[in-house]
Amino acid sequence: SAAGGHRVVCYDTLLDQQSGTHARLAAELRHALDDGEFHLLYQPIIDLGSGHVTSVESLIRWQRADGRVVSPADFIPVAEETGLIVELGAWVIDTASAQAADWHDRHGPHAPKVAVNVSARQLLDPALPRTVAAALARHSLPPHRLTVELTETAVFGGGPALATVRALAELGVAIALDDFGTGHSSLSLLRTCPVDVLKVDKSFIDGLNGAPEQEAIAVALSGIATSLHLRTVAEGVETAAQADRLRDLGYHHAQGFHFSRPIPADAVDALLPAAEPAALR
């Protein structure tokens, strides 16, 4: 540039630029919701014993008008800050419940259960249990077919978030602790928070077959889960060797690119064990 690399950007200007970008993104998210630019993909969760797909995790995607797909890591934090996550989250819960009910109608007991992610801000919304109950009723979905994934950090410290989780559990939906082992207060939370599933974070799975300390943690987490009668899901499984090791270590379920990336709902259909031929339906 003409300034020869001596361009001085003062901190205030940088902050202004960032908050400008932030405000623009916040406004774009609002329009994206109104214009139907969000969709859900579903990542299979595999039973390590049978190799069958027993559930799927719904993962949101934003496909902008120009075709670019934005990752949730880039927009969920903004939606949380602006509060739009409450409305967006209600759309996720309704859409995932409709899909779960459709699978349940067509595949009966072989239908995959469906998990939805809820963020910290959603757990602070006292209406969340009503939102979930309404979606279950609207789609005639048995509650145990839906799993709500939340992080330890979101319920850390108890208070209103923990009360919301308890109300969700009372509805009969399953509760999963996501990214388990990376947040606050993992172990005491297991005494106070109703939990059905531990999703052991990818960072512990990455170290299997190599780092003894990592493996020791993966073993310990599986042991805790088993003694507390919780189901375990290993996240981020990328190799056959990891899957084999997890099976040996007593893990029940696994999820990761080794089995499948997140895929559209109709692609999940092709993976189901007892999928009836369309002609017989």
> Quick check: 152 binds Mg ion (CB under 5 A)?
no
Distinct helix (H) and strand (E) counts, the chain: 12, 9
> Quick check: 10 binds ligand C2E (CB under 6 A)?
no
Instruction: Find, among 120, 166, 114, the residue nearest to 142 by Cα.
Output: 114
For the chain, state the CA radius of gyration.
Answer: 21
Instruction: Find, among 126, 115, 185, the residue nearest to 150 by Cα.
Output: 115
What is the smallest separation between the CB atom of 281 and ligand C2E, expressed in angstroms? 29
Give the footprint of ligand C2E on residues 67-86 (CB under 6 A).
71-73, 76
> Quick check: 87 binds ligand C2E (CB under 6 A)?
no
By beta-carbon proximity to ligand C2E, the closer residue of 106 and 196 is 196
> Quick check: 125 binds Mg ion (CB under 5 A)?
no
Contact 59, 96 (CB under 8 A): no
> Quick check: 183 binds ligand C2E (CB under 6 A)?
no
Residue type for position 117: N
Residue 37 binding result from Mg ion, ligand C2E, none, given CB thresholds of 5 to 8 Å by partner type: none
Give the footprint of ligand C2E on residues 50-69 (CB under 6 A).
59-60
DSSP string, 205-258: HHTTTT-HHHHHHHHHHHHHHHHTT-EEEE----SHHHHHHHHHTT--EE-STT
What is the smallest separation between the CB atom of 94 and ligand C2E, expressed in angstroms? 12
What is the smallest separation between the CB atom of 79 and ligand C2E, expressed in angstroms? 8
The stretch among 26-34, 93-101, 174-182, 223-231 that binds Mg ion (CB under 5 A) is 174-182
**Near ligand C2E by CB under 6 A: residue from 257, 264, 273, 274:** 257
Give the footprint of ligand C2E on residues 123-152 (CB under 6 A).
149
> Quick check: 149 binds Mg ion (CB under 5 A)?
yes
Q: Name every residue whose Cβ is closer than 8 Å to that of residue 121 and which is 6 or more positions away in sequence.
A: 80, 83, 85, 86
Count of residues touching Mg ion (by CB under 5 A): 5
Residue 256 binding result from ligand C2E, Mg ion, none, given CB thresholds of 5 to 8 Å by partner type: ligand C2E
Count of residues touching ligand C2E (by CB under 6 A): 22
Fill in the DSSP letter of residue 200: E
Tokens of 35: 């214009």
Residue 76 binding result from Mg ion, ligand C2E, none, given CB thresholds of 5 to 8 Å by partner type: ligand C2E
Q: State the burial class of residue 213 (Cβ atoms within 10 Å of its Cβ: 0-12, 13-18, 19+).
A: exposed
Q: State the burial class of residue 78 (Cβ atoms within 10 Å of its Cβ: 0-12, 13-18, 19+).
A: middle
Binding site for Mg ion (CB under 5 A): 117, 149, 178-179, 235
Binding site for ligand C2E (CB under 6 A): 43, 59-60, 71-73, 76, 89, 92, 117-119, 149, 178-179, 236-238, 255-257, 262
